[in-house]
Structure 1
């Protein structure tokens, strides 16, 4: 008798739950439409069956399982049968509409390039169901994801850029004053700021700037040797030779102290400047004056300073540079090779060409470059792809692609990734301004393999790269 009462009570509970489910589904048809109600019905049925299993005895579960499977039950739902089948031929807009109506209730999982949000008309009360029009859904395309990634991660606020520039200028003035007092016999030119921060091409954070330190040479005592004529036969690395040593003795030029084997040594100059930065400059006093902390990087092969100003972190690289005509040479020799080499810099030409192209056709090359730089900046394998490499890829791509409007950003970004994979496969990226120069010549084989693998994965799914 007790068992019979228990079963009757349970049956009443089940009928109550069934009634609630039917009421929910009936109203869901009004609010969500037929397709939305169908998906909600499936989800509700699963929940109901879980409750049934939790409250039913094992014998009842077995009997129900024998009568009807879950798949058959889904087929019995009138709501599911009522879902209209799309006609055989539909426009892309119609297909998108039908997909969006289902995504509103049950968003697809694992789709990187789809992000759905709901919109109502301005001034419309969200709680008033009767006055709400059918909700419009917006799915982000890859183009929209790129622009969102640019706005939310890549672009730097103007105030942050201005703060970084001003701090760098103040330190630059103090360092210039020190060099004039400490090394008055060396004819340094006026130091100036350089790099992507000054050209509105820096990404993620305003955290790096270059101090360009010009070296003024006596044109009658020094001559430039093209890279093809040097010992390593690399057109990117030049040498600066001291002339007429047999007639004009050593010591006639203040730069003679840095001569090694008859050539001005970039390594010797860098070592002398490094000693001054580490041991001679009173950085605590300068930092106190500018309300910041300045530390020279002792172990770095480059001339670097680390600056902390409240929440601002700034890395400064001192770059000795000499210019002769259109040639710009940096005291930045390749690692482990001849120490007298000077690297030809194309940075100024890269930026000028890129901006000229964008100005001519209102293109999005700079935007594409900054997104690529943002992708590579903190990536464990792609960080070796510098802004210079990426700029040359885009300049090469501009030779074959003429449409650089913002609407074509996604297509150009995809092509840039494909082009990079091709260059990495060949282990060669020709310089845009001198095709005989391979910009990848200093990358290790392991680094090329790692970068090529990461980018190859992203060719079919470029959204994988947009990780903030």
Structure 2
């Protein structure tokens, strides 16, 4: 008896939301009609499953229930709304259900059932017969960048890069830095929609005899994506023998300390208004970001430049990316970006394929669709590389098939909650995404497989 009372007490709070939702469903026909009430019921059950999964995530030894995840996306696709919108709508509806139903009972029920939901104004792709034609039109009219825009962005980034390098050499001549260079999708021909982002690579020159690269699997975190750089031979070469010793935290080179020093030097000391005036543009620091990031504005064009410290040792490239590391200040991210871009380009060159074209279309789609923006070029490149191991036909005639196949592959990885890096299968590229973000992306792609045109529509 006592156990029953405790159980009831414990479940009373959980039943509160359920009772409110049941009350809303019981009166849904007054508001939405029979068909609308059925759709709302499907949406409610699907969202409750999403909420339950978010509130009770699987343990370390448990794998996500793939069948349950895909079933949820299937149920949600019947409603025509995304998980995030449905969840928000249900929460608001529950809060307002009781007064709303009382008000409806006093009014003409037929008037409320004919209310129209406002539609988003959408710019559609001109009428094409096949998906193949639509994809090629989308690529030509929206994805590709004009040569003049690319050249202008590159030149502006180069001008800023040269000024930063000259400033650092004059301000800190003893700091052992390699030749800075510009990289990223703008300089690799992988940028889409607008030429608005570049990356300034700042190589740190470290002495091989003083430092040892510790692979992620050998650290206490056992995370293959994040490495450490340990100071060695202190008994023979004491602290101060290397310039970078001043950035040691707990015997390891701290990426956070390096970032903070460069931030103070570059962001805090350079005269950006004067430099902007000289370069005929406006240069601002991007505030509130852990990254070293600049915004360059010139007339109608906008360009962002990330300043990224890197360490190269033989074939290994480590970068400092603070948003990925949590509270661990000594971690460096193992980067395969150059290897991935080179591999993709080589594959296309070997068979005259359209892998790069397919990648750019998908990148533009993710940039255009708010629900897909957390799906990055890095995710897509690795999916296409994995698919290229089993699929050999990447000709123009097969573009539509490969486009749909990539969507299917991404959905499968999302269901598993694991996307292995092509060059290190132990690295999970989905680890940075939350369960809610995975559901939002997975639902959108699930719907897009049967209606791919929705991905080529751009909101205005």
TM-score, normalisation: structure 1 = 0.70
Q: CA deviation at 1:257?
A: 1.1
The Cα of 1:420 is off from its aligned counterpart by 0.4
Kindly indicate whether residue 287 of structure 2 is the aligned counterpart of residue 298 of structure 1.
yes
Within-5 A mapping of 1:212-361: 212-333=201-322, 334-361=324-351
Report the Cα offset of residue 246 of structure 1. 3.4
Counterpart of 1:3? Answer: none
Change (3 A) 1:186 1:194: same
Corresponding residue for residue 186 of structure 2: 197
User: Displacement, 1:379?
Assistant: 2.2
Q: Distance in 2 between matches of 1:446 and 1:293?
A: 38
Q: How does 1:108-119 map to 2 (within 5 A)?
A: 116=127
2:432 maps to 442
Contact 2:124 2:456 in 1 (8 A): no
Q: Does 1:143 align with 2:132?
A: yes
CA apart distance, 1:113: 10
**Residue aligning to 1:379:** 369
Q: Please state how far the C-alpha of 1:326 moved relative to its aligned partner.
A: 0.8
Aligned length: 335
- 1:380 deviates by 1.5
Tell me by how many angstroms 1:378 deviates: 3.6
Q: State the SS of the aligned residue for 2:283.
A: strand
Q: Paired residue for 1:431, among 417, 421, 434? A: 421
Matches within 5 A, 1:66-85: none
Match of 1:454?
444
Q: Report if the CA contact (8 A) 1:115-1:140 is conserved.
A: no
Distance 1:447 1:246 in 2: 49
Is this contact kept in 1: 2:168–2:266, CA < 8 A? Answer: no
Match of 1:162 among 151, 154, 160: 151
- Kindly indicate whether structure 1 or structure 2 has the higher relative contact order, using CA contacts under 8 Å at least 6 residues apart: 2
Q: CA deviation at 1:245?
A: 2.2
1:388 Cα deviation after fit: 0.9
Cα pair distance change 1:442/1:115, threshold 3 Å: closer
Deviating runs (4+, > 4 A) in structure 1?
112-116
Q: Which residue of 2 aligns with 1:62?
A: none
Asked if residue 406 in structure 1 is aligned to residue 383 in structure 2, the reply is: no
| Unaligned stretches of 5+ residues in structure 2 | 1-122
In the alignment, the residues of structure 1 paired with residue 386 and residue 312 of structure 2 have an alpha-carbon distance, to the nearest angstrom, of 26
* Offset at residue 241 of structure 1 (A): 0.5
Report the structure number with the largest CA radius of gyration: 1
What is the DSSP-based 3-state SS (H/G/I as helix, E as strand, rest coil) of the residue aligned with 1:437?
A: strand
Structure 1: where are the runs of 5+ without partners? 1-111, 117-138
Displacement after TM superposition at 1:286 (Å): 1.1
* RMSD (CA atoms): 1.5
The CA deviation string for residues 414-460 of structure 1, in whole angstroms up to 9 with x for no partner, is 00000000001111100111111111112111111111111111111
Question: Do the aligned partners of 1:114 and 1:140 also contact (CA within 8 Å) in 2?
Answer: no
- In the aligned structure 2, how far is the partner of 1:277 from the partner of 1:324? 25
Cα distance change on mapping 1:310 and 1:220 into 2, 3 Å:
same
Of 431, 455, 460, the residue aligned with 1:465 is 455
Structure 1 counterpart SS, 2:370? coil
Indicate if the aligned counterparts of 1:277 and 1:296 stay in contact, CA closer than 8 A. no
Partners of 2:140 and 2:216 in 1: CA distance? 42
- 1:419 maps to which residue? 409
CA distance in 2, matches of 1:300, 1:352: 30
**1:271-297 CA-partner distances (Å, limit 9, x unpaired):** 111222331011111111111111111
